[in-house]
Amino acid sequence: MPGLNNLFRLARNTTIAAVLGYGGSAGAAELSVCVDKSSPTAEMDAALAGAVAKQEGKAVKIHYFDGDDDDGFDGFAKLAHQCTLVMGFPVAADEPVTPEGLLATAPYGHTGFVLVTPAGSSATTLDQLPKGATVAVGYQTTPNLYFPKYPSLHADVHVKESDALASLDAHKVQAAMLWRPTVASYSAIHHARFDLHDLDSTTARYDFVALYDKSNAAAAQDFDKAVVTLAHSGALTKVTSPYLDQDAAKSEPKGQKLAEATPAKEAAPAAAKPAPAADAASAPPALFTTAQAEGGKQKYADNCAICHGPTLAGRAGPALKGPTFASPTAGFTVSDIFIILSQNMPATNPGSLEPDEYVQIMAFLLQQNGFPAGDKPLTFDDANTSKVPLIYHGN
């Protein structure tokens, strides 16, 4: 997952040849891939690319980029013009979204955020944790949004997920909610033992795909076919374990089998998703004024854009606009998001803005996710308690 950490910078030492700079188009007998060296799956991504290339009878060339310094979705679009495939891109299992103009291969694995407990713990869900338990999470990761639904739990937020795991490893916290590949990479380095439990949330489940542009459609279909062969032989499991889920029955997206031999397709770009019909049942309510949203636009640019991108498409932090952020299947409300916004942002000094500044930023986020402006201003108390579903309505 782009920007999670730098645990696998050592992946550059893999025996697979690495391209030190962008090298233009690949030859017919060569598979050129981009791999995020800051991702905990970097080693897996490189190994899978090598296995696929071997299956295809090709050489493999890898360009390592640093996802911690990327430009959000726009950065992936640029990479896809330089490599045949961009490996290791996670898309939401229920509502896959790719950077605009890019296509995605069939999923070659499933993973997501998990509840991590000390080995042998009896707790397997958030509900089973003792009242007052402290749960470590990574800064700006999806599990931060779960705490409003579990007011008896306390968040221990870390800039790096590896630090959150170290806190659990040292018994400073009772549990953690983290990206499964990060747990796998930490355990491999520190020989720590944890129990992992799937989180019961649609926003916790992801499919792994490779991205490509239309000019590389044939290569992407060859990739899919090679993955199917690797899956049937058992080689795919060897490459992806323990970073991805191996119990496919628990995580198949919408009934699709892992590495199914279907043509590669494009996941719906966030900007292209049509808005729901504007009838009484689906039309979003007016929660803010135009003046508040306009003020929030500047406040966002000053305090949020550095992490979440100038167009809310994500950068070091996640996207704050679109069907993945404001998913109808996630069940998040306006107050869920506002509590995180007002208590954990901005990254450099959480909770440091004035209450009205947070309200204005929230108004801007609502506007950008298709909510209309009205005559009644949004108040801090209203935002903090609103149970209006936060659902993307197109913009």
Please tell me the total number of residues recorded for the chain in this structure: 395
Decide if 394 is inside a domain: no
* Mean pLDDT (the chain, rounded): 81
Tell me the C-alpha distance between 211 and 224, whole Å: 12
Structure confidence at residue 190 as a pLDDT band (50, 70, 90):
very high
Evaluated on CA atoms 113, 116, 122, 126, the torsion sign reads negative
Cα 76-202-237 angle, rounded to 5 deg: 65
My answer on whether 230 and 177 are in the same domain is no
Q: Would you call 254 exposed, middle or buried from its count of C-beta atoms within 10 A (0-12, 13-18, 19+)?
A: exposed
* pTM summary value: 0.74
Decide if 89 is inside a domain: yes
- pLDDT tens, residue by residue, 276-307: 433 334 789 999 999 999 999 999 999 998 88
N-term to C-term CA, the chain:
26
SS3 of 140, please? Answer: coil
My answer on whether 88 and 227 are in the same domain is yes
- pLDDT tens, residue by residue, 333-360: 999 899 889 987 887 788 899 999 999 9
My answer on whether 222 and 103 are in the same domain is yes
- pLDDT tens, residue by residue, 119-173: 999 999 999 999 999 999 988 788 888 887 898 999 998 888 999 999 999 999 9
User: Is the predicted pLDDT of residue 272 greater than 60, yes or no?
Assistant: no
**pLDDT given at position 220:** 96
Q: How many domains would you assign to the chain?
A: 3
Q: Give percent of the chain above pLDDT 70.
A: 80
Decide if 328 is inside a domain: yes
- pLDDT tens, residue by residue, 34-90: 998 888 999 999 999 999 999 999 999 999 988 766 555 556 666 767 899 999 998
Tell me the C-alpha distance between 386 and 125, whole Å: 26
My answer on whether 216 and 82 are in the same domain is yes
Residue 40 in tokens: 């905990």
Q: Which of 44-53, 184-193, 229-238, 305-314 has the lowest mean pLDDT?
A: 305-314
Decide if 1 is inside a domain: no
- Give the β-pairing of 103-104 and 205-212: antiparallel
- pLDDT tens, residue by residue, 7-19: 222 222 222 233 3
What are the backbone angles phi and psi of residue 176, rounded to the nearest 5°?
A: -150, 155
**pLDDT given at position 122:** 94
Decide if 285 is inside a domain: no
User: Is the predicted pLDDT of residue 262 greater than 80, yes or no?
Assistant: no
Q: Is 324 in contact with 335 (CB distance < 8 Å)?
A: no
My answer on whether 68 and 20 are in the same domain is yes
From the centroid of its chain, how far is CA 215? 26
**pLDDT given at position 76:** 64
Evaluated on CA atoms 22, 26, 27, 30, the torsion sign reads positive
Decide if 275 is inside a domain: no
Decide if 395 is inside a domain: no
SS3 of 368, please? Answer: helix
Place of tokens 């360009």: 63
Decide if 68 is inside a domain: yes
- Structural domain boundaries enclosing 87: 9-109+208-268
